[in-house]
């Protein structure tokens, strides 16, 4: 299984302020993408099955979650990169922000744990200094 990790410059943009930092991005192989898709499918089909228990509502909820599961699984399987690590500060309060491991579906919308401001993370289009790191094997 190949693990290609590259480092890119990212920008955190709130309504008025911006901050820049770095994110480490892992390229996902086909097996990981299928795994991500199946995880989404299992989650939403599981919720759909649970909704069988609710009288009347199950006529709407079960098909809704079955269809939603297929849609979100296809969406998750299409993403070929994941954020594994990041170094960025909240643009509003300046405190370091720890990004959870997430599929790299830019822009990522996040909420600062300290000040509760929401901001979006996206790759820095100026891309000043982004050294590419490849870890073969
Ligand atoms: Zn903050």
In terms of domains, do 69 and 94 share one? no
Residue 66 lies in a domain: yes
Q: What angle do CA 57, 60, 65 make, to 5 degrees?
A: 110
Q: Could you tell me the distance, in angstroms and rounded to a whole number, from the CA of residue 134 to the centre of ligand 1?
A: 32
pLDDT tens per residue across all 137 residues of the chain: 456 899 999 999 998 899 999 999 999 999 999 999 999 999 999 999 999 999 999 999 999 999 999 999 999 999 999 999 889 999 999 999 888 778 888 899 999 989 999 999 999 876 554 444 444 44
CA 114 to chain centre: 20
Number of domains in the chain: 2
In terms of domains, do 74 and 35 share one? yes
Q: Could you tell me the distance, in angstroms and rounded to a whole number, from the CA of residue 39 to the centre of ligand 1?
A: 31
Q: Could you give phi then psi for residue 108, rounded to 5 degrees?
A: -90, 130
Residue 137 lies in a domain: no
Q: Could you tell me the distance, in angstroms and rounded to a whole number, from the CA of residue 8 to the centre of ligand 1?
A: 22
Q: Could you tell me the distance, in angstroms and rounded to a whole number, from the CA of residue 114 to the centre of ligand 1?
A: 5
pTM over 0.85: no
Range of the domain at 68: 31-78
In terms of domains, do 69 and 37 share one? yes
Residue 134 lies in a domain: no
Residue 131 lies in a domain: no
Q: Could you tell me the distance, in angstroms and rounded to a whole number, from the CA of residue 21 to the centre of ligand 1?
A: 15
Report the first-to-last Cα separation within the chain, whole angstroms: 7
Q: Is the omega angle on the peptide bond into residue 107 within 30 degrees of 0, that is, cis?
A: yes
Q: Could you tell me the distance, in angstroms and rounded to a whole number, from the CA of residue 19 to the centre of ligand 1?
A: 11
């Amino acid at each position: 299984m190949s693990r290609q990790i590259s480092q890119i410059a990212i920008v955190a943009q709130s309504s008025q302020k911006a901050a820049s930092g770095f994110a480490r991005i892992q390229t996902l192989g086909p097996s990981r993408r299928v795994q991500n898709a199946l995880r989404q499918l299992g989650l939403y089909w599981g919720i759909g099955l649970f909704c069988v228990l609710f009288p009347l509502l199950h006529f709407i909820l079960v098909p809704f979650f079955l269809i939603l599961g297929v849609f979100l699984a296809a969406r998750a399987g299409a993403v070929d990169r994941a954020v594994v690590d990041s170094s960025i500060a909240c643009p509003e309060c300046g405190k370091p922000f720890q990004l959870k491991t997430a599929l790299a579906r830019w822009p990522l919308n996040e909420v600062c744990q300290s000040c509760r401001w929401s901001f979006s993370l996206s790759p820095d289009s100026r891309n000043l200094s982004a050294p590419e790191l490849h870890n073969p094997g």
